[in-house]
């Protein structure tokens, strides 16, 4: 198996050679406006698949395919003269489906746009089945209720401070030291 970098270089070189030869002219009136889009080499560099597109109608595409097929031997000879490899790869012309694929994608995008507009128009005329906002909101307190709640919060804070002082006083009588062990006895588990 050849080095992939070498295969890419050879494919690029074949693309240029074939494109230049087609541009200089092949004496076949069936050949239309042909563009070489890609060349792919096999791993052993023995076969080149040449992808092309033809500008025009289906009939012109068929005629160009026939012209390229009949010119395959002459184009292979041209490739062999201009390559520096020991063996000349066989070549095969394959019509590239890029234009048809692009047209199909454009049709799909147009269909998606049409459906988006349809959904937007249905959404504009739609109404909610239940409440417009089904989520529970926190209730809004009146000014009098806020003042009462603030006083209750202050009283709760005072009670909490007194409870903390009682806990500190009770903590002094605890025989357990800061590391969790008392003075000589095992903790109960």
Give the pLDDT score at 116: 93
> What structural domains does the chain harbor?
4-99 (3.30.300.20)
Quote the tokens at residue 37.
């889009």
Question: Averaged over 65-84, what is the pLDDT?
Answer: 89
Q: In this predicted structure, what is the pLDDT of residue 102?
A: 85
15-22's contacts with Cβ under 8 Å and 24+ in sequence apart are 15/39, 15/50, 17/78, 17/79, 17/82, 17/83, 18/50, 18/75, 18/78, 18/79, 18/91, 21/75, 21/78
Tell me what percent of the residues of the chain surpass a pLDDT of 90. 20
90 beta partners: 47
Average pLDDT over the chain, rounded to whole? 79
Q: So what's the pLDDT on residue 43?
A: 86
- Measured in degrees and rounded to the nearest 5, phi and psi for residue 34 equal -100, 135
What digits encode the pLDDT tens for the residues 121-175? 988 888 877 777 778 778 777 666 665 666 666 666 555 555 555 555 555 554 5
DSSP result, 7-28: HHHHHHHHHHHHHHHHHH--S-
């Amino acid at each position: 198996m050849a080095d992939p970098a070498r295969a890419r270089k050879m494919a690029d070189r074949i693309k240029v050679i074939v494109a230049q030869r087609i541009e200089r002219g092949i004496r076949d009136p069936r050949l239309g406006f042909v563009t070489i889009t890609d060349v792919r080499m096999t791993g052993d560099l023995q076969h080149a698949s040449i992808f092309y597109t033809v500008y025009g109608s289906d009939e012109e595409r068929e005629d160009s395919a026939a012209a390229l097929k009949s010119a395959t031997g002459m184009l292979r000879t041209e490739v062999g003269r201009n390559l520096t490899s020991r063996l000349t790869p066989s070549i095969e012309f394959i019509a590239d489906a890029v234009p048809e694929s692009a047209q199909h994608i454009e049709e799909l995008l147009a269909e998606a746009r049409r459906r988006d507009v349809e959904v937007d128009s249905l959404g504009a005329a739609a109404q909610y089945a239940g409440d417009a906002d089904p989520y529970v909101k926190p209730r809004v307190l009146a000014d009098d209720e806020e003042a009462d709640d603030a006083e209750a919060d202050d009283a709760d804070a005072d009670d909490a401070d007194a409870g903390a002082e009682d806990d500190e006083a009770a903590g002094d009588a605890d025989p357990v030291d800061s590391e969790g062990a008392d003075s000589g006895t095992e903790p109960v588990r």
